[in-house]
Amino acid sequence: MAEMKVNLCGIELDNPIIPASGTFGFGYEFAEVYDINLLGTFSFKGTTKDPRFGNPTPRIAECPMGMINAVGLQNPGVDKVISEELPKLAKCFNKKVMANVSGFAIEDYAYTCERLDACEQVGWLEVNVSCPNVHGGGMSFGTSPEAAAAVTRAVKKVTTKPVIIKLSPNVTDIVSIAKACEEAGADGISLINTLLGMRIDLRTKKPVIANKMGGFSGSAIFPVAVRMVYQVANAVKIPVVGMGGVSSAEDVIEMMLAGATAVEVGAANLINPYACRDIINDLPRVMEKYRINSLSEIIGGVQ
């Protein structure tokens, strides 16, 4: 029988499939579609210290094999996430959830992570230093090893749960940033977030989205993600969560061979709300096809 369990920073997952932050809301919305307890876990909507309305509209632009989004971290703020969103989730999800955190100052990250660390439902803190579509924060911390390490140290000082730093691909040397986070105490690394992209309306000669640029995601970025996961996984000793264009069980196997312990699925959820369920159901078939008995045994197994 195919063994799909993996261990992520000391917590066992039934399988490595994790819907990515920003594509799965706070989970209960998808629970109306299928039983989300079949997931390994999921990363909930990016949460900041204070409520955010997000960027002006339009926020979405279609692309061949992908999309650009500039939602801008719209969320109700950490206090309401704890008082309203997590209780709703508890009614339909009985596993530990991954809390995704963003900020605009190191103090913001520390405050929000400390608040969420105290929540029993939260298993991991995924600290996003890589958002490409907000001004004055987000990716600015993820483009410098020193800044990413400073965020990591600040969060680790006030938390007890595993801290996974989410990195940006919009850099020239992602390995140096990952190693700096590891040295600062990170328990894991997740990558890649979206690539910075842009579309122009030929009729109006203006950018399609109001923010001008945004995060490019979808199957088109998969080869870039595999390359970066491979590079980082071979440079650090902590677990790597791979993501970026994953849309099939075959993609999951490829990402794990590159070095990912678990795999997040993002844009595919926006195309097909059953994407993660379908990938999980298909994994045993693909494992049999490639003579894989246990997923944990293939992590970093590329020759």
Which pLDDT tens digit goes with each residue over 215-247?
Answer: 999 999 999 999 999 999 999 999 999 999 999
The torsion angles phi and psi of 34, rounded to 5 degrees, stand at -155, 170
Helix, strand, coil proportions of the chain in percent (round to 5)? 35, 20, 45
pLDDT for the residue 139? 53
Q: Give me 213's structure tokens.
A: 């640029």
The structure's pTM equals 0.95
Q: What angle do CA 55, 56, 60 make, to 5 degrees?
A: 80
Residue 151 contacts residue 109 (beta carbons within 8 Å):
yes
> Mean pLDDT, to the nearest integer, of 63-87?
95
Q: Where are the alpha helices (DSSP H) in 97-144?
A: 106-117, 139-142
Count of CB atoms within 10 A of residue 207's CB? 18
In percent, the amount of the chain with pLDDT more than 70 equals 97
Residue 129 contacts residue 101 (beta carbons within 8 Å):
no
Count of CB atoms within 10 A of residue 58's CB? 13
Cross-strand bridge partners of residue 262: 241
**Burial letters for 118-152: b for 16+ Cβ neighbours within 10 Å, e otherwise?**
eeebbbbbbbbbbbbbbeebbbbbbbebebbbbbb
Under the banding of pLDDT at 50, 70 and 90, the label for residue 131 is low
Give the active site residue among 113, 131, 181, 276.
131
Instruction: Tell me the C-alpha distance between 189 and 199, whole Å.
Output: 30
Residue with token string 């940006």: 168
Say whether 131 is catalytic. Answer: yes
Three-state secondary structure call for residue 257? helix
Instruction: Tell me the C-alpha distance between 208 and 204, whole Å.
Output: 9
Residue 98 contacts residue 42 (beta carbons within 8 Å):
yes
The torsion angles phi and psi of 208, rounded to 5 degrees, stand at -65, -40
Instruction: Tell me the C-alpha distance between 142 and 145, whole Å.
Output: 7
Q: Which residues contact 176 (CB under 8 A, 6 or more apart)?
A: 145
Q: Give me 129's structure tokens.
A: 């230093």
53 burial via Cβ count (<10 Å: 0-12, 13-18, 19+): exposed
Residue 16 contacts residue 270 (beta carbons within 8 Å):
no
Identify the structural domains of the chain with CATH numbers, from first to last.
6-52+76-196+216-297 (3.20.20.70)
pLDDT for the residue 6? 98
Q: How far is Cα of residue 34 from the mean position of the Cα atoms in its chain?
A: 21
pLDDT in tens, 263-296: 999 999 999 999 999 999 999 999 999 999 999 9
Which candidate, 97, 60, 92, places its Cα nearest to that of 81? 97
> Mean pLDDT, to the nearest integer, of 86-115?
96
> Mean pLDDT, to the nearest integer, of 99-108?
93
pLDDT in tens, 141-194: 778 899 999 999 999 999 999 999 999 999 999 999 999 999 999 999 999 999
Instruction: Tell me the C-alpha distance between 265 and 53, whole Å.
Output: 25
Q: Which residues contact 48 (CB under 8 A, 6 or more apart)?
A: 73, 75, 77, 78, 101, 102, 103, 104, 108, 112
Q: Residue 140: is its pLDDT beyond 70?
A: no
Residue 101 contacts residue 139 (beta carbons within 8 Å):
no
Which candidate, 161, 178, 159, places its Cα nearest to that of 169? 178
